């Protein structure tokens, strides 16, 4: 991740032109400062463009991985560049939704390009009335239904890996793979 010595990059602030008049005609001083200009040109260029380096939508490719490490984003060098950029740009939003249905569905869609539907609540029950009897034991299982999206094949191992990482530890998660979107009658049953 070096921006040093970019060939032919001119300095926007040449040092030789800023020297006192005494050194304006001094060949050694001009050559010496031109050498410094070569070194500093990439530094000035980086500083002048710093906002672009910190924006994952326009940052140089080698900075995208670095930005991903800053925000804890999933970053796979084998993903297409636009997908890597979107994962970094949406990292904070995805962290906010981690452990929820929406977070799981969005993460699967973003990273693997699959569609998903999550049913079940993981067994969370509460009451507004103090001292009431405990409710019956909920099933406590979350079912994640996955079907192809942008790619006709679904990487089942990767789906299971992401579901395992994003489902809360105390919740049993089951993954079902469907050839297409669930039928209407299945939707109504839930």
pLDDT tens, residue by residue, 105-127? 999 998 888 999 998 876 667 77
**Single pTM value for the model:** 0.64
Q: Over the stretch 121-151, which tens digit does the pLDDT of each residue have?
A: 766 677 788 888 877 766 668 899 999 987 7
**pLDDT for 1:** 46
Non-local CB neighbours of 109 within 8 Å, separated by 6+ positions: 115, 116, 149
Do the beta carbons of residue 112 and residue 154 sit within 8 Å?
yes
Q: What is the SS3 assignment for 95?
A: helix
SS3 129: coil
Whole-number Cα distances in Å, 140 to 57, 107, 146, 170: 40, 22, 19, 9
Number of neighbouring beta carbons within 10 Å of residue 177: 14
pLDDT at 6 > cutoff 80:
no
> CA nearest 168: which of 123, 135, 138?
123
CA distance 134 to 86: 44
pLDDT of 185 higher than 60? no
| Per-domain residue ranges of the chain | 16-48, 56-96, 101-124+139-190
For domain 101-124+139-190, the CATH class is alpha beta
Q: What is the pLDDT of residues 56-112, one digit of tens each?
A: 999 988 889 899 999 988 888 888 888 899 999 999 898 898 888 899 999 999 888
């Amino acid at each position: 991740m070096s921006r040093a010595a970019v060939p032919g990059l001119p300095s926007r602030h040449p040092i030789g032109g800023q020297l006192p008049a005494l050194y304006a005609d001094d060949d050694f001083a001009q050559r010496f400062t031109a050498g410094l200009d070569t070194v500093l040109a990439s530094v000035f260029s980086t500083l002048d463009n710093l906002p672009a380096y910190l924006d994952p939508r326009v940052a140089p490719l080698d900075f995208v991985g670095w930005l991903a490490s800053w925000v804890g984003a999933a970053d796979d060098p084998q993903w297409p560049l636009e997908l890597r950029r979107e994962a970094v740009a949406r990292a904070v939003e995805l962290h906010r939704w981690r452990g929820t249905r929406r977070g799981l569905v969005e993460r699967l869609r973003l990273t693997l390009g699959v569609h998903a539907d999550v049913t079940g609540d993981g067994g969370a029950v509460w009451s507004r009335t103090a001292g009431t009897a405990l409710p019956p034991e909920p099933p406590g299982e979350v079912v994640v239904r996955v079907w192809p999206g942008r790619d006709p094949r679904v990487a089942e191992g990767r789906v299971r890996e992401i579901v395992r990482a994003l489902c809360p530890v105390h919740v049993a998660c089951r993954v079902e793979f469907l050839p297409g979107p669930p039928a209407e009658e299945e939707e109504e049953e839930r």
